[in-house]
Amino acid sequence: MSETNGNNLISLEDLKVYYDLGGGGLLDRITGGSTERRVVKAVDGVTFDIKQGETLGLVGESGCGKSTLGKALLRLTPISGGKAIYKGKDIAHMSDSEMREQRKNLQMIFQDPYASLNPRMTVGNIIGEPIRTFGLANGQSVETMVQELMETVGLSRKFIKRYPHEFSGGQRQRIGIARALALDPEFIVADEPISALDVSIQAQIMNLMDDLQKEKDLTYLFISHDLRAVRHVADRVAVMYLGEIVELAEGKEIYEEPLHPYSKALISAVPVPDPEIEAKRERIILTGDVPSPINPPSGCHFHTRCPYSIDECRKTEPQLVQIKPNHYAACIRINEENPYIEDVAEPHEVEEIID
């Protein structure tokens, strides 16, 4: 699924990230190990667009490939196949020198605000490093730019000589955001930017990112397992399962009317602030664990946990297609005429279809 739209800043086409774990060598045969090469299919054929100025939320369980996809978009991890097109240029096939030039436009906010900052560098040096590296300024001008960036993200100028350990978690994440903004990028991958923070600080960071987006016309890929946070910040939401996108829609619609059985289960787990409504809601509990990306299930990867699966689900790999206007899902049991799976299928015990 890919829209032809001049407003698209990023377009992924059948993007793949595989990790070869080896196997099948002499040592494996001697020790009785696997005789076949093992490959982790972390991202397995993802296609979607990110529009200029929007926030696309990417959600899914731990291990589904969300962070790997974000890093692949910035070429922080090698791309195994497909395309990652930024403003008409394929990042996947750029040379190192070409990619270095694009670094100014493509930045990342990391999940752990402490591990991503060099403990031996002052805040001034951390934020100023990309400015000096790309020759945007030198001498006193660098310090002036750093101080302005610190004020932009809500930090005092007088903290410029301090080290990361002297700050709280929320302040450290603000430092990470300032560093990402140092080169005035167009696109930022925010990889679980609030997961390591206290709940009281999470809203502050999300509001800061929202203000910066409006001020600087930024485009975000906001990766998170916290569906409440994604609901607050995302214009559209993509749901990922075992390396594949299973649903993509406008943020409000995907929360109010999810179509894919996996999305339904995820969203049913999001607490509702009204205690009366929350008490009446029925949560969908998925049985079993996420299968290994080394040996994913045939057909629909979700069929081993899906209460609506049939034998055909094990044989046919579903495509991400439009089920409702601007609402895409990957499930062979629903279509434009019958978008709601409850209307065409009865749930059953998952154990019935497990091989």
3-state secondary structure of 39: strand
Task: Mention every residue, 6+ apart, whose C-beta is less than 8 A from residue 154.
Answer: 174, 204, 208
pLDDT in tens, the chain (355 residues): 544 456 899 999 999 999 988 765 545 555 555 557 789 999 999 999 999 999 999 999 888 999 999 999 999 999 999 999 999 999 999 999 999 999 999 999 998 888 889 999 999 999 999 999 999 988 899 999 999 999 999 999 999 999 999 999 999 999 999 999 999 999 999 999 998 888 888 999 999 999 999 999 999 999 998 888 898 899 999 999 999 999 999 999 999 999 999 999 999 887 766 666 656 667 777 877 788 888 899 999 999 999 999 999 999 999 999 999 999 999 999 999 999 999 988 888 775 444 4
Distance CA 143, CA 127 (A): 9
- DSSP per position, 281-333: ----PPPSPPPPTTSPPSSSGGGGT-TT--GGGGT-----EEEETTEEE--TT
With beta carbons less than 8 A apart as the criterion, state whether 39 and 17 touch.
Answer: no
**β-strand partners of 189:** 108, 221
Distance CA 244, CA 202 (A): 28
Quote the pTM value.
Answer: 0.90
Amino acid letter at 274? D
Task: Mention every residue, 6+ apart, whose C-beta is less than 8 A from residue 307.
Answer: 261, 284, 347, 348, 349, 350
Residue of 11, 48, 43 whose CA lies nearest to 322: 48
Half-sphere CA count of 179, side-chain side, radius 13 A: 26
Residue 345 structure tokens: 């299928």
Question: Alpha carbon of 86 to those of 82, 135, 153, 220, 342: distances in Å?
Answer: 13, 23, 27, 13, 39
Rg of the chain (C-alpha set): 22
With beta carbons less than 8 A apart as the criterion, state whether 237 and 254 touch.
Answer: yes
